[in-house]
């Protein structure tokens, strides 16, 4: 039985809990000093198996501003991972040193796998091309503070929607707020996965120019080169200064960053460009998240334990790499999906 509130996927929480974190983040943005002793005796571990600037440093800043301390690595090659240590053993040990642990890992479902053996709460800071829930909290706080509401928005999501984990988490969560509609803008090879489309009201188009006039928010992303397996790079989308004339005057432009060249530098001076502010808000919302997770109000259900005789066929799933993990699947309507990476089980395997 799991004893901790982990943040693996925001779907594990009621919308009211997500709103509570965002609202607390908004208060922290205004009254940061008020929270400076909250984590006085607490240790945060950051385990980053993949490159990161904002996520890692904003978590570190968040813990330091809460009065806590830090341990961790940002290059697994300097830890025992380089000697072949498995995820279970690293997690087990580090979670016995820390009160809360943040992990980024290139393998899909790795945050859930880590939570199974952890002795403290785990926060998913990105598990391969799957999810990135704390970026979504950052995005929600930005939308709340810069647009005033999280509902009734037409949201353009542009770029790499296949491997862009930030877009998956964002659409999953924003689709729970009423009246939100999505416009997915991508090359066909980088289209939004079906498990996200299944839960959204959306349309798909290929032209960014055509999408711009109706958007309340545009979420740009870079092509995830490190995850792309095709041979020729797909078409790139670039938001230029000239294109801004077609956008609503009160629209906002977000990007999880890093930007490669999807947004022209000249766009930065437009008041609708909110991506640097968005990165700053990441500290406040992560402070709020640490505070709420440590209250341990929602012990997370990790594995259903069902269909354990089936095998996840996603080669990027953590069960492929960490062979000791039990297989586990859940049923939603007619589909059965892996509890770690959410890949759907193929027709042949359905009982």
Question: Phi and psi at residue 279, in whole multiples of 5°?
Answer: -65, -35
Separation between Cα atoms, residue 31 and residue 284, nearest integer Å: 10
Q: Specify the 3-state DSSP secondary structure of 209.
A: helix
Q: How far is the CB of 199 from ligand NCD (least distance, A)?
A: 20
Beta-carbon contacts of residue 311 (< 8 Å; ≥ 6 apart): 319, 327, 349
Task: Give yes or no for residue 54 binding ligand NCD (CB under 6 A).
Answer: yes
Is 92 tagged catalytic? no
**Of 65, 112, 132, 162, catalytic:** 132
Q: Which of 72, 126, 128, 156 binds ligand NCD (CB under 6 A)?
A: 126
Q: Which is nearer to ligand NCD, 177 or 228 (CB)?
A: 228
Count of residues touching ligand NCD (by CB under 6 A) = 12
Dihedral pair phi/psi, residue 105, rounded to 5°: -150, 140
Q: Confirm or reject binding of residue 135 to ligand NCD (CB under 6 A).
A: yes
Q: On the CB side of 256, how many CA atoms lie within 13 Å of its CA?
A: 29
Q: Does 186 bind ligand NCD (CB under 6 A)?
A: no
Least distance from C-beta 55 to ligand NCD, angstroms? 4
Residue 190 binds ligand NCD, judged by CB under 6 A: no
The yes-or-no answer on residue 3 being catalytic is no
Distance CA 257, CA 277 (A): 11
Query: Among residue numbers 221 through 260, which ones bind ligand NCD (CB under 6 A)?
Result: 221-222, 256-258
Binding status of residue 55 toward ligand NCD by CB under 6 A: yes
Alpha carbons 165 and 169: distance in angstroms, whole number = 6
Whether the Cβ atoms of residue 184 and residue 202 lie closer than 8 Å to each other:
yes
83 has catalytic annotation: yes
| Angle (nearest 5°) at CA 140 between 261 and 121 | 105
Give the integer Cα–Cα distance in Å for 300 and 306.
17
Min dist. Cβ of residue 255 to ligand NCD (A):
8
Q: What CA dihedral angle connects 161, 347, 323 and 101, to 10 degrees?
A: 40
For position 130 contacting ligand NCD by CB under 6 A, the verdict is: no
Q: Is 54 a catalytic residue?
A: yes
Catalytic residue of the set 5, 46, 65, 104: 104
* Residue 172 touching ligand NCD (CB under 6 A): no
Residue of 162, 165, 181, 286 that binds ligand NCD (CB under 6 A): 165
Tokens coding 284: 């406040």
What's the rounded Cα separation, in Å, for the pair 20 and 5?
A: 15
Q: How far is the CB of 261 from ligand NCD (least distance, A)?
A: 13
Question: What's the closest the beta carbon of residue 32 comes to ligand NCD, in angstroms?
Answer: 21
Angstrom CA distances, 74 to 152, 260, 297, stand at 39, 22, 29
Sorted by sequence, the CB contacts under 8 Å of residue 226 that are 6+ apart come out as 106
In the list 6, 65, 112, 132, the residue contacting ligand NCD (rule: CB under 6 A) is: 132
Using the rule CB under 6 A, is 133 a contact of ligand NCD? Answer: no
Q: Least distance (Å) from ligand NCD to the CB of residue 149? A: 23
C-beta of 193 vs 303, nearer to ligand NCD: 193
74 touches 97 (CB < 8 A)? no
Which residues are annotated as catalytic?
Answer: 54-55, 83, 104, 132
- Binding footprint of ligand NCD on the chain (CB under 6 A): 54-55, 126, 132, 135, 165-166, 221-222, 256-258
């Amino acid at each position: 039985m799991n004893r901790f509130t982990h943040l693996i996927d925001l779907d594990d929480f009621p919308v009211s809990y997500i709103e509570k974190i965002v609202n607390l983040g908004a208060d922290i943005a205004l009254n940061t000093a008020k929270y400076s002793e909250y984590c006085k005796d607490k240790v945060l571990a950051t385990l980053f198996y993949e490159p990161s600037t904002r996520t890692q440093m904003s978590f570190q800043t968040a813990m330091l501003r809460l009065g806590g301390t830090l341990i961790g690595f940002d290059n697994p090659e300097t830890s025992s991972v380089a000697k072949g240590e498995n995820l279970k053993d690293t997690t087990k040990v580090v979670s016995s040193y820390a009160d809360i642990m943040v992990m980024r890992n290139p393998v899909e479902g790795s945050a859930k796998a880590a939570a199974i053996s952890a002795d403290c709460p785990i926060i998913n800071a990105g598990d391969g091309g799957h999810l990135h829930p704390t970026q979504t909290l950052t995005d929600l706080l930005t939308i709340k503070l810069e647009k005033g509401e999280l509902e009734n928005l037409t949201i353009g999501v542009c770029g790499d929607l296949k491997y862009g984990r930030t877009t998956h988490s964002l659409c999953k969560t924003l689709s729970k707020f009423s009246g939100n509609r999505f416009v997915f803008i991508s090359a066909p090879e980088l289209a939004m996965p079906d498990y996200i489309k299944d839960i959204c009201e959306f349309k798909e188009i290929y032209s960014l120019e055509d999408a711009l006039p109706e958007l309340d928010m545009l979420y740009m992303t870079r092509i995830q080169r490190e995850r792309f397996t095709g041979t020729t790079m797909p078409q790139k989308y670039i938001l230029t200064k000239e294109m801004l004339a077609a956008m609503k005057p009160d629209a906002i432009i977000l990007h999880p960053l890093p930007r490669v060249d999807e947004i022209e530098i000249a766009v930065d001076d437009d008041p609708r460009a909110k991506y640097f502010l968005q990165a700053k808000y990441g500290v406040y919302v992560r402070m709020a998240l640490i505070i709420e997770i440590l209250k341990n109000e929602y012990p997370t259900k990790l594995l259903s334990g069902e269909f354990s005789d089936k095998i996840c066929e996603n080669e990027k799933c953590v069960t492929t790499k960490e062979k000791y993990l039990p297989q586990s699947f859940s049923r939603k309507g007619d589909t059965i999906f892996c509890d770690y990476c959410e890949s759907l089980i193929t027709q042949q395997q359905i009982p």
